[in-house]
Chain A
Amino acid sequence: MVSRIALLGWIVLSSAYNRLDAQQVPAQQIPAQQILAIEVTVKAQDPVVVPGNKPENNSEKPDRSSGQNKSDKTDKADKIPRAFDRNRPEPEEEPEAPKKNAMVNFAMDPDRWSDVIYSQLGGSEATFEQQQRRRVRSTVNRIELICGIDEATREKVQATAELEIQRFKTEVMALAAQGPRNPTQEEYSEFYNKVFKLTERFRVQGQPPNTKKLPLWQKVLFSNLSEQHKQEIEKDNQKRAEYRQQVARIEVLMRISRRLGLTSKQRDKLEPYTASNTEAWKSLDQAWQALQQFPEKEKREIFSPEQIQELKKPLEQSDDLQLVIRELGDDF
């Protein structure tokens, strides 16, 4: 019994001694079992003290360090070269300082050049896409009214237009990537010529249609129409253009009438002249010059002596703001 109590007492004492000893002994003298036990209790997110490193960096920002690990992974993915990625990281190298004769005092990156290119077509990239789609739809709707289009052709035209939009966007990105970063006047002019060439086919509105420069979707549409249908469409185009031009001519006639104080009878006499020489009646200045060059006999037939005297004077200039409307006709 005594020996049992003595044994128990020794065990208790020895275990207490061991505990005290474990707290005091250096790491090298800790038994292997205990080291293992300590290693198991270390959590993954706890900082691991490595000699030579600064432990406070990790211990202060544990969450960020874990986030940093994640972002390191994504950075690697981002570093895959994607020439036209809008969200690509900032370039590591310092941006070169603008030249002394540079046109702008900031670097022209591809995004800015893209904006410049799309602005030539009257807006942004999104506006361009929207305009093109609407234009196709509107033209197809009109032609459907004139000569009828089957569903297959309509789909084919729309698909072509969609492809063309995508192709153009790629071309814009490629050209924008070639744009000079700090262009001088000469470099800008040179690059602008390229931009002009690229955007040319979408800026042919208001000019007589040239089949070579027509967008692809129009060529597809045209190739799917019979000769008779083409003639019908051409006739309709002419009528619409004539309507627009006639309105513009009457507008100039009204301004001439205001300037000279014409009566309704005089206007009726003058109106046929507007149709005979359409080029001269495109603007007030042109029409005024044309009237000044009228033969005297015709002048006397139309105008009163006071009006003929008035016609000899030049048009007055005004510094008022004037609305200028450029009406671009449909090219198809």
Chain B
Amino acid sequence: MRTIERFDIRGRFLLGLAAILLAGCGEAPWNDPYPAGDATGNRIYSSFAERPKHLDPARSYSADEYAFLAQIYEPPLQYHFLLRPYRLVPLTALEVPEPAYFDADGNPLPQDAPAESIHRSDYLIRIQPGIRYQPHPAFAAYDSGDYRYHALTARDLRGINQLGDFEQTGTRELTAWDYVHQIKRLAAPWTHSPIAGVMQKHILGFEEYAQSLAETAETDPLQRVARLRDSEIAGVEVVDPYSYRIGVKGKYPQFAYWLAMPFFAAMPWEAEVFYAQPGLHERNITLDWYPVGTGPFMLGENNPSLRMVLERNPNFRGEPYPSEGMPEDTASGILADAGRPMPFIEEAIYSLEKESIPRWNKFLQGFYDSSGIASDAFDQAVQIDAGGEPVLTDAMRERGISLLTSVEPSVMYMGFNMLDPVIGGDSERARLLRRAISIAVDFEEFISIFTNGRGLVAQGPIPPGIFGYREGEAGINPFVYEWVGGRAVRRSLDEARVLMEQAGYPGGRDQATGRALTINYEAIATGPDDRARLNWIRKQFAKLGIELVIRSTDYNRFQEKIRNGTGQVFMWGWNADYPDPENFLFLLYGPNGKVEHQGENASNYANPEFDRLFNAMRFMDDGPERQAAIDRMVELARTDAPWLWGFNPKAFSLHHRWMYNASPNQMANNTLKYRRVDPELRERLRRDWNPPILWPLWAIGGLLSVIILPALWLVWRRERSTAL
């Protein structure tokens, strides 16, 4: 009897083990990080490296967060997916609003009225009727019309730990009040919106409204929502359920771009009331964690320490795929889905992947559909061909992976603090010194060494793709480059040395004192990888005999030095909010200086002519007049050289062959809805690429046997041996 029982236990164990092993020998690869059968679903697999801090559209201001938010919330406008230069098109709006201009007496002005005469610009935004919110408990109502979950008690909240624990959901139609409510939220001090300061300067009545909210010092969350609902911003009004008007101070053509950012997405008051109820915050059920939108997707799972899942919003209206693009788009096949209702996928799974090595390997195994390229994997993925163009390696091509590249609307520059008595200022001596350094610091080499060639040397503050950027000979910085043989060639070091002599620093020594010129470089250095970069920068300055002192610090102290204007030279960058030259040239606008005005002009550059032209250019429509103003501003900036213009980074992305409709768009964040996948192909290739290799297991088993069995024999023999 005991023998049979023992056999049963052993037999069950062996059967179980066999079942596990056989299960492994089935269809799904052993190393598949997703549940079995998932790969055949119409979903996209991606990753994220940083957990989003905010998912409230009034607070979020980071690309990592926009990757999720922009799929859920819908502002009235969006960027066209394919057309370049970047162009605004309606999203929930019926059309891109044309501002109406008024003088100080409220009289209408023509579209070509001078900016000085315009006292107010009105943007009338008409939204499409019939747009509905995603299913959400905030909208759940009884037959009587009363909201089911707007008066939750402690008893109601028993067993509620996440949003999905609420059994009932509801929806309602999007209205103009929702957009206006969100603008009020931007003004509320308790929302901590990063653009509140900017909007105070532009939206009529915004500043006064924010002040009135601050004065009430309301602390109860429900009372705060009630306060927003009961009050109005003077310059913002609901015209009818499907249209609202925003009054802007003076002329501000860039305002339309803000209407394409999640800050101006609709926010239903029901959601605010729902989340403001006591007991929900303690359960981490907040608006900042569980978004409520009208977009093509909704957040099905929010576990940023593990995974974020976007699910198709069943109430989404089915926006058609764009039917026009650039000439090359027809040939590439990216217009094949023209007119078809989006989104094409049911779900997108984003897994947290903090380290680049596992992220890259899982992409190669087919467990992520797309990937960027980390520096340490660059040579494995991309090589530079004879023409200097990046192409895929054979290994990537064999797998059918495609490479997409585009220049980012960003600039990485080396700035001089113009308030510094040595390197800054308006003197000819300092100007010549800055120009000499501009020649000496070889950014072509920097791009080649530190970014794997992923960048374009900048000739001025405006990156390619933005109005005002000039290509070819007309676009080069003549103080640093000359046009030779059809391309820009950096001027020689001899020219830089001559400039140093003219500046009074022959051989890098001050002519007056004979002392070596020493300049401090403010650096954010957090790891050993930074050492090579800093050494390289030191060598660039040493070409001119300048002794560069690297002052490494953390990001907080670095920012403090820049805010206080105590640094001399530093490296920083700017990523465009919107594709307009104003968003780059304002980085050199005097009244935007960091030290005096706490603005974004980190080099504290101030040139009266530049500032005057900036004030004119910002109000102009794109055209020859604006181009001429920009040309002059760029010329002034190049002459004064407050920056080494650095480079414009290039984005490289890789996509598997089962991924369709991937097109680089550096301004649009809501691109998930365009994506289409072939799940069957993905499933097949994953299996082909990831067969479990079992011989190492047998080898390890054999090796252990070889070690353990003789050892056991030795033990046995020793125990039976006799003493001498």
Q: Are A and B genuine complex partners?
A: no
- Residues on A facing B (Cβ under 8 Å): none
